[in-house]
């Protein structure tokens, strides 16, 4: 009975019908994945198809079927060689894809000018927790990204802390509240209104609100169109820019430089700020209103569902964690102290065995515009005690080093010049298996074709 069941299973395993079913399902899966990637984005296609368990089972079944068919021809003879080469090629392609998915690296590396970076961020979110009761150990909870519309039930992180809400594409809403702690610093909320007129039509107004905070460099610089806004000392670069400084006795002072390099200065008292004041830099097309000023404040962030839900411009995810008493939002890359525990929501990180030093970021703009025409980075590789000669990474000139490939992806603006370069980092350990598999597959097909042609000629 057992032998009959095993024999039936073996015959099904090597049958052409099973191969047709598996190949049809594989083809349909690729069609669905391509449609999802075209209609939405790559992460959505990866979640529903490429990284789904059923797709892995499908690939495993296809590999087992191909291997069983090849073994069923034992003992192999010379005329089996084209058949075996093609089947070995398909198996190598499947194994190479699995090796790449299991041990490959595909992420981003950010390096500040004059610094060396070696930490690559992978687009795989994780929740990290450190608690005094864990004796310094870090608890890592894998929390893969889910597409919009996929329900994520709340779950316990540990020590009375739970994740109770998840937003796959989240926009932050920033606000500031008065606080007397050591972390508190002056905060200022401004409203910029730009008026444009087209021909004889009435002027059209577009407004934008921003927060500035002296407590962190990330909050001290902002951009409104071509103009930069600084919450601190005036820069030395060309205009247009506005520099705003809080006064010790209350109120603020400001200095502005127009696009025509015309300077203006002014002062707003604390009483005028309390009532709402207008900051006048002397620019005709822009009106600046002071909506709120806090002599000592700290930021407060909440997240809502983003307006852009799909595509490369869609923002990252966010989670809300909390206890029975309070809840706090964490965007990707944030950390917070809650109930004697440090909780972080970070992308998975891979440390390279060498460092990439950014010597200089080079940027060219279109004449008369702030739009980038081209950009590249001059970098050096710090491998152990050796420092390799400087090389240039640009859009069409990647850097390859010890199996890793670095592409110039983007940059982060700084003033008076960009200071952070963003590289796309890729390591594909299964590449040589996929290349060899492709070669064997093509060779087997050609070999099989010529053998059939020879047989026909003999016939």
* pLDDT 10s digits, 366-412: 887 767 888 999 999 998 877 888 899 998 899 999 999 999 999 98
Residues 255 and 211 in one domain: yes
Start-to-end C-alpha separation, the chain: 45
Same domain for 452 and 413: no
- From 299, 317, 334, the end of a domain falls on 299
Residue 285 shares a structural domain with residue 360: no
**Structure confidence at residue 170 (pLDDT):** 96
Cα distance between residue 439 and residue 416, in whole Å = 51
Select from 394, 393, 368 the least CA-distant residue to 380. 393
Six-digit token string for 371:
């739009």
Shared domain for 195 and 247, answered yes or no, is yes
Do 287 and 196 lie in one domain? The reply is: yes
Q: What is the pTM of this model?
A: 0.79
- Which residues are CB-contacts of 97 (< 8 A; sequence separation ≥ 6)? 59, 430, 434
182 in any annotated domain: yes
**81 within domain boundaries:** yes
Do 12 and 78 share a domain, yes or no?
Answer: yes
Beta bridge partners of 358: 379
Instruction: Let me know whether 202 and 227 are in one domain.
Output: yes
* Structural domains in the chain (count): 3
Instruction: Say if residues 335 and 210 touch (Cβ distance below 8 Å).
Output: no
**Helix residue ranges, H only, 359-430:** none
Residue with the two structure tokens 């965007």: 331
pLDDT, residue 1, reads 58
Q: What parts of the chain have a pLDDT lower than 70?
A: 1-2, 195-205, 370, 414-418
Helices and strands per DSSP (H, E), number in the chain: 7, 25
Q: Is 149 left (phi over 0), alpha (psi -120 to 50) or beta?
A: left
Where helices occur in 248-393 by DSSP H, the ranges are 270-275
Confidence (pLDDT) at 2: 64
Among candidate residues 399, 400, 410, 423, the one with its CA nearest the CA of residue 375: 410
- Which tokens sit at 56? 């892995």
The reply to whether omega before 240 is within 30° of 0 (cis) is yes
The residues, ordered by sequence, that sit 6+ positions from 22 with a Cβ below 8 Å of its Cβ are 58, 61, 62, 65
Peptide bond into 64 cis (omega under 30): no
Distances (CA, A) of 269 to 105, 230, 249, 250, 429: 54, 19, 9, 7, 63
Of 370, 419, 365, residue with least CA distance to 259? 370
Do 115 and 84 reside in the same domain of the chain?
Answer: no
Orientation of helix 53-71 relative to helix 16-39, angle to 10°: 150
Residues 423 and 450 both lie in one domain: no
Residue 36's domain comprises 2-104+431-458
Q: For residue 316, tell me if it sits in a domain.
A: no
Measured CA to CA, the distance from residue 140 to residue 132 in angstroms comes to 15
- β-pairing verdict for 227-231 and 241-246: parallel
Distance CA(238)–CA(257), nearest Å, equals 8
Residues 373 and 360 in one domain: yes
- Does residue 403 fall inside a structural domain? yes
Between strands 204-213 and 252-257, the pairing is unpaired
Residue 28 covered by a domain: yes
Q: Tokens for 39?
A: 């209609």
Q: Which of 424, 406, 314, 413 is nearest to 372 (CA)?
A: 413
> Which residues pair with residue 1 across a beta bridge?
none
CA angle 150, 343, 295 (to 5 degrees): 105
Residue 311 covered by a domain: no
Same structural domain, 96 and 188: no
Whole-number pLDDT of residue 200: 47
**Does the residue 146 lie in any domain?**
no
| Domain annotation covers residue 134 | no
Residues 292 and 356 in one domain: no
d(CA 148, CA 168): 6
Rounded-to-integer distance, Cα 273 and Cα 366, Å:
39
């Amino acid at each position: 009975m057992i032998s009959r069941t095993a024999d039936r299973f073996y015959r099904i395993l090597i049958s052409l019908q099973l191969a047709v079913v598996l190949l049809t399902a594989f083809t349909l899966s690729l069609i669905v994945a391509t449609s999802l990637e075209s209609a939405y984005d790559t992460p959505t296609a990866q979640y529903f198809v490429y990284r789904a368990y059923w797709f892995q089972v499908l690939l495993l079944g296809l590999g087992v079927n191909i291997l069983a068919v090849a073994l069923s021809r034992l003992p192999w003879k010379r005329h089996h060689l084209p058949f075996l080469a093609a089947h070995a090629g398909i198996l190598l392609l499947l194994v190479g894809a699995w090796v790449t998915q299991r041990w490959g690296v595909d992420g981003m590396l950010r390096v500040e000018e004059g610094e060396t970076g070696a930490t690559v961020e992978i687009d795989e979110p994780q929740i990290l927790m450190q608690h005094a009761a864990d004796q310094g150990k870090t608890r890592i909870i894998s929390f893969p990204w889910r597409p919009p519309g996929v329900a994520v039930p709340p779950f316990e992180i540990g020590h009375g802390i739970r994740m109770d809400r998840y937003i796959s594409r989240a926009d932050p809403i920033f606000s500031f509240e008065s606080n007397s702690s050591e972390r508190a610093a002056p905060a200022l909320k401004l409203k910029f209104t730009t008026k444009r007129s087209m021909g004889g039509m009435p002027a059209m107004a577009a407004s934008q609100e921003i927060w500035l905070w002296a407590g962190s460099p990330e909050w001290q610089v902002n951009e409104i169109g071509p103009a930069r806004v600084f919450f601190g000392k005036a820069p030395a670069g060309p205009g247009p820019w506005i520099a705003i400084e809080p006064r010790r006795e209350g109120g603020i002072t400001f200095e502005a430089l127009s696009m025509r390099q015309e300077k203006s200065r002014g002062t707003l008292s604390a009483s005028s700020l309390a009532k709402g004041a207008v900051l006048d830099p002397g620019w005709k097309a822009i009106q600046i209103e002071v909506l709120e000023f806090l002599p000592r404040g700290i930021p407060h962030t909440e997240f809502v569902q983003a307006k852009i839900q799909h595509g490369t411009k869609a923002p990252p995810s966010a989670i809300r964690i909390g206890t029975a008493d309070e809840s706090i939002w964490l965007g990707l890359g944030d950390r917070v102290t809650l109930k004697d525990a440090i909780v972080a929501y970070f992308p998975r990180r891979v440390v390279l065995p060498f460092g990439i030093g950014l010597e200089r970021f080079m940027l060219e703009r279109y004449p008369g515009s702030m739009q980038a025409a081209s950009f590249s980075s001059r970098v050096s590789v710090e491998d152990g005690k050796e420092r390799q000669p400087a090389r240039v990474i640009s859009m069409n000139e990647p850097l390859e080093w010890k199996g890793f490939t670095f592409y110039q992806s983007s940059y982060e603006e700084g003033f008076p010049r960009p200071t952070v370069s963003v590289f796309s980092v890729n390591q594909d350990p299964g590449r040589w298996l996929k290349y060899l598999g492709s070669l064997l597959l093509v060779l087997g097909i050609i070999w099989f074709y010529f053998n059939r042609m020879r047989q026909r000629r003999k016939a």
